[in-house]
Amino acid sequence: MTSRKRVPSQDSRHAAATPALPGYEERFRLLVETVKDYAIFMLDPEGRVASWNAGAERIKGYNAEEILGRHFSCFFLPKDVEAGKPGRELEAAAAQGRAEDEGWRVRKDGSYFWANVVLAAMRDEAGTLVAFAKVTRDLTEQRRAAEVLRAGEEYARRIVDAAYDAFVAIDQDGVINEWNRHAEDMFGWSREEAIGQPLADTIIPAQHRDAHRRGLKHFLATGEGPVLNRVIEITAVRRSGVEFPVELTISPLTVGRRYVFTAFLRDITQRKEAEDKLKRYTADLEAANAELDTFAYSVSHDLRAPLRSIDGFSQAVLEDYAGKLDAAGQQYLQRVRASSQQMATLIDDLLKLSRVTRAEMRREPVDLSGIAQSIAADLQRSDPQRQVEFVIASGLEISGDLRLFRLVLENLLGNAWKYTAKHPRARIEFGVTQHDARLAYYVRDDGAGFDMTYADKLFVAFQRLHAPGEFEGTGVGLATVRRIISRHGGRVWAEGAVERGATFYFTV
């Protein structure tokens, strides 16, 4: 009978070739026992704990006397024990030489921790399973940090998705790595389709692609970019190939040693269309106003000469033929003169209104308080017998056309002076207040006031709420005020009550 010689395994050959070091095993055992960051221990072939180190005691909570000889299934959740997980781990390690797992484990006090577990089968030279070596790491903090990170990323994703604008992020190679829901809607590419694609090939029109690549290269070389950290308007392209205007903001971020560029894009197609339409309407309105002003100027100029003639000849008749006219005839001529003079005043006011519309505005600091004080002094000098108290706030300044704002205050303060004339004592106030988060300047009086039912007529040319016999005027002054305030981008309105005064407000 022929005998067969056993061929030693690679491990046994390696062991045979390795000289025994004096005290090696003892030093290794001491090293393992002192490790505290890892639970390192041995199991017998049936899974009972055969050794225990300081790390195992720290992580799992058992001391050696408590755990030696107990089955390692006590480290598993009850549901995992019922499902046979401990036995499957032993079988996998025995069959494959090594098994690894991550999951929840149980400490002595019943608390759970997230563990990374490596289980290795130990065999003797004959290949017989003699033990299992088990290494456990407590990854609870790492898992918690990862969950916080994932939650933060999800939270950021939701915020970005909830943003009104499209959000796109690219890396320093120009490749898209983030694409929110509004970007999908705006450009027509799904998130899955867009991520990983070069930005230049997706949303940048062909005529701008070279400039985009040059700008990216320039920034990486110099750290400078003319379009970064500011709002610009540019053209983008949809998946369909249609170009459209967008408002774009790009910001660079450093992640590790690489750059990430985040961009918010807003489709401004409707805004641009509205702006273009407004420009056309404004141009048409300016042309119409210019024609109307020219017409008004021409008519006013042509009417002045005959009015002067009517007034002059009426005066001549009164002076030269007074003895031949009875009282009624003289009264008729006086009425003709009064009407012609009123018409001349109306024409002058109409010309002023026309000039207000056509005059070029020159913005400069305007001392409203100083102007109001000057006008108040002029009004008091015009009728020193009147008892009128002026209360003018100091330090009121705006930016506007000085000449036009003097005209505004002349009309408003003049109105207040006129409509308090029938009160023996009056108070006129000029000040400022808050209205809809804006400064609103006002002129307030305690005079005749007006019925708020007719407030919409106040600022319409030639509309008057009082009879000419009550208070003189042409009805053009407040229309002039509205024109001036509108040209300064503000609004004007009034509040009042009959015989309880009125307040006129304007914003700029």
Can you tell me the distance from the alpha carbon of 307 to that of 300, in angstroms, rounded to the nearest whole number?
Answer: 10
Which of 212, 273, 219, 274 shows the shortest CA–CA distance to 248?
A: 212
Query: What is the 3-state secondary structure of 24-69?
Result: HHHHHHHHHHHCCCCEEEEECCCCEECCCCHHHHHHHCCCHHHHCC
Instruction: Return the CATH class of domain 145-267.
Output: alpha beta
The residues with which 126 forms a beta bridge, in sequence order, are none
Of 259, 265, 167, 262, nearest to 218 by C-alpha is 259
Distance, in Å, from the CA atom of 450 to the CA atom of 456, rounded to the nearest integer, reads 11
Residue 315 burial (C-beta neighbours within 10 Å; 0-12, 13-18, 19+): middle
pLDDT of res. 457 = 83
φ, ψ of residue 257 to 5 degrees: the values are: -110, 15
Topology, domain 10-138 = Beta-Lactamase (3.30.450)
For residue 126, what are the contacts with CB-CB under 8 A and spacing of at least 6? Answer: none
Residue (of 357, 362, 356) closest to 285 by Cα position? 357
pLDDT at res. 295: 73
**What fold is seen in the domain 361-506?**
Heat Shock Protein 90 (3.30.565)
pLDDT < 70 positions in the chain: 1-36, 152-163, 297, 299-300, 349, 353-355, 357-358, 462-475
- pLDDT, residue 334, reads 87
CB neighbours of 193 closer than 8 A, spacing ≥ 6? none
Summarize pLDDT for 71-105 with one digit per residue, the tens. Answer: 999 999 999 999 999 999 999 999 999 999 999 99
**Cα→Cα distances 170→46, 234, 361, Å:** 55, 18, 47
CA angle 137, 68, 48 (to 5 degrees): 75
Name the residue with tokens 């002349």. 410
CATH class of 272-356: mainly alpha
Beta-carbon contacts of residue 441 (< 8 Å; ≥ 6 apart): 368, 396, 398, 430, 431, 432, 505, 506, 507, 508
The answer to whether 33 and 54 have CB atoms below 8 angstroms apart is yes
Q: What CA–CA distance (Å, rounded) separates 439 from 229?
A: 32
Contacts (Cβ under 8 Å, ≥6 apart) of 55: 35, 36, 37, 38, 39, 40
Domains 10-138 and 145-267 share a fold: yes
Q: Where are the domains of the chain?
A: 10-138, 145-267, 272-356, 361-506
What does the pLDDT read at residue 479?
86
Residue 460 has a pLDDT of 80
Write down the pLDDT at residue 7.
37
Cβ burial of 19 (10 Å; 0-12, 13-18, 19+) is exposed
37 HSE (CA, 13 A, CB side): 1
**Strand pairing report for 425-435 and 387-392:** parallel
Q: How far is it, in rounded angstroms, from Cα 335 to Cα 411?
A: 27
Q: Which residues pair with 261 in a beta bridge?
A: 170, 252
CA 333 to mean position of chain CA atoms? 69
Contacts with 399 (C-beta within 8 Å, 6 or more apart), sequence order: 363, 364, 365, 366, 508
